[in-house]
Amino acid sequence: MILSAFILLLTLVTALAPEYDFIIVGGGVSGLVVANRLSEDPNVSVLIIEAGPSVLDNENVTDVDAYSRAFGTEIDWQFISESQLFGGEPQILRAGRALGGGSAINGMAYVRAEDVQLDAWQSIGNERWNWTSLFPYYLKSENLTLPTAVQTDAGATYDAFAHGSRGPLKVAFPRMQSGDNDLTPAVNQTLHAAGIPWNVDVNAGRMRGFSIYPWTIDEEAYIRYDAARAYFWPFQSRSNLHAWLNTRVNRIVWRDVPGGENTRAAGVEVTSQHGTVSVVMSRREVILSAGALKSPAILELSGIGNPRILNQHNIPVHVSLPGVGENLQDQMNTLMTASTHSPITGGRTVTFASATDIFSQDISSLANLTHTKLPSYAALVANMSNGAMQPEHLRAVFQVQHDLIFKNNIPIAEIIFKPGGEKTVNAGFWGLLPFARGNVHIRSSDPAAQPAISPNYGLLDWDIQLQVAIAKFIRRMFRSAPLEGMIEEESRPGLSAVPGDAADEVWGNWLEDNYASNFHAIGTAAMMPRSLGGVVNDRLQVYGTANVRVVDASIHPLQLCGHPMANLYAIAERTADLIKEDWTG
């Protein structure tokens, strides 16, 4: 009787609801790329559902020099984490709530990944996911504007082989020029003396070194070139491509009763900005691209996740998939500053440094010590994963990360040196590869409620040790020629807060009070074997479903050395081709 009523209700809803071939939940980088590529076929209808508005003419978005101005506005989700053990306070996690997603409010950095990191994705069970398979898609998405003579004089370099020139996404170097007391050559020479070379192009697969990276900007108009400008607005006239803005997706609607195998999505339930609840149907697939903090919540609200959590909120379990919402990884961002004797010039630069660079010693003993701690790291993280992750499985993944750090010598630190004012040097920094893992889960069955987010910053001693070592490295650079000739004194933290001979514990105490989220959340619907706690397979299909995928930063199994955005463009481009393959045979 219940089954008959369910089928009758679904039949009535299907008859009345609008219908598309593909429904894409989230109009950020990944969602817009996939929507664009799928709608290239005029016989395929695509609907993008985005919770936020258009920001096409929003100066807080378009202004290249307006980074952070959109923070705290309606186009920022302003997620608040649970209070963290490290520091004892909650952290704000910024995420774009607009057509364009994170690309509308981020720092515009176009920085990919280290090649062996992507190769490691394949090593943990993801067939054909590696640097070689993704490289053509970086080029497919990109349209690089070559640096001008002025930019070249100021330090802009690139490897032509590593860049595309015909893609939708405009990429260019920012306005910059060399001048008196130029910070760029001073930092370059200081780092070179410390053994860190100039890197011609951090986007060519090898990232270690000092460099200047391009941004996602239209160089001629000098505006931010977000995903909507690249992949939606030039194509909005397609009759088969629609976008619903200011619309919240509540949950996936299913064709099957709970508990079946390969359960099939019928569509999604949405709430408009006016509060109207309705259903839109999908003939082929529902694709979640709502980001690492929203996609897992939508899965849970739809009955896909850990039964322990779903049962707490009286949500019927359609697919038991405990990995949903686990494996959350983010980085801790901290700022050091120094005052200068005279006004300085220059722009934003990047330093990618390895363990050998940062710890300034024979790292074999550090590698061995860290290796002995992997079992305890795995046990602690597993114990905090709601039973979703097993210590032995985490141990295997941690071993891959350990090898990348200590055998492949990939970067473990990113430092952004730039003028912070007329007479100030800023050095923003973060450890790239923390071992800590956290989670994000729904608080209730109310889709309007923010999820409970616990990144577990500083959970493991490696994560704190790394952040301390980077801070000490920056202080050494402030005190090394020729940079030291420009600097009057370190002002943050300064010697009164952290004396010159301070123990690591003192540094750690300062960091505890002075870190923030790096807004690089990934991993919460990981592309890994289901037995390892994975949520999607290597075609980004959600385990246990017939027609649901996740395409966003949720699927990253491991943190990358670069910034998420450039990698998301390539991953989404490749996934669009996989989807086309699956539907054309």
Report pLDDT digits (tens) over 100-147: 999 999 999 999 999 999 999 999 999 999 999 999 999 999 999 999
What are the structure tokens assigned to 241, written together?
């491509």
155 burial via Cβ count (<10 Å: 0-12, 13-18, 19+): buried
Report which residue type is found at 484.
Answer: E
d(CA 516, CA 469): 17
Model confidence over 447-492: pLDDT tens digits?
999 999 999 999 999 999 999 999 999 999 999 999 999 999 999 9
Query: What is the pLDDT of the chain when averaged over all its residues?
Result: 96
- For helices 504-513 and 461-478, the axis angle rounded to 10 degrees is 100
CATH number for region 1-85+94-175+223-329+438-455+521-585? 3.50.50.60
Which residues contact residue 398 at a Cβ distance below 8 angstroms, ignoring those fewer than 6 apart?
A: 374, 377, 378, 435
> What is the band of 565 on the pLDDT scale with cuts at 50, 70, 90?
very high
> What is the band of 229 on the pLDDT scale with cuts at 50, 70, 90?
very high
Cβ-count burial 346-384 (b if 16+ within 10 Å, e if not): bbbbbbbbbbbbbbeeebeebbeebeebbeebbebbbeb
Report which residue type is found at 284.
Answer: R
Model confidence over 508-560: pLDDT tens digits?
999 999 999 999 999 999 999 999 999 999 999 999 999 999 999 999 999 99
For the chain, which residues make up each domain, given as ranges?
1-85+94-175+223-329+438-455+521-585, 177-211+331-436+457-517
| pLDDT value at 434 more than 70 | yes
Give CATH superfamily name and number for 177-211+331-436+457-517.
Glucose Oxidase, domain 3 (3.30.560.10)
Least confident of 313-317, 359-363, 381-385: 359-363
Q: Point out the annotated binding site for FAD.
A: 249
Cβ–Cβ < 8 Å for 439, 457: no
The reply to whether omega before 493 is within 30° of 0 (cis) is: yes
Cβ–Cβ < 8 Å for 450, 81: no
The catalytic residue positions are 520, 563
> What is the band of 16 on the pLDDT scale with cuts at 50, 70, 90?
low
pLDDT given for residue 352 in this prediction: 99
d(CA 172, CA 48): 28
**Percent of the residues in the chain that have a pLDDT greater than 70, as a whole number:** 97
* β-strand partners of 417: 427
Q: Point out the annotated binding site.
A: 249
| pLDDT value at 206 more than 90 | yes
| pLDDT value at 5 more than 50 | no
| pLDDT value at 195 more than 90 | yes
Model confidence over 303-323: pLDDT tens digits?
999 999 999 999 999 999 999
d(CA 271, CA 249): 6
pLDDT given for residue 362 in this prediction: 81
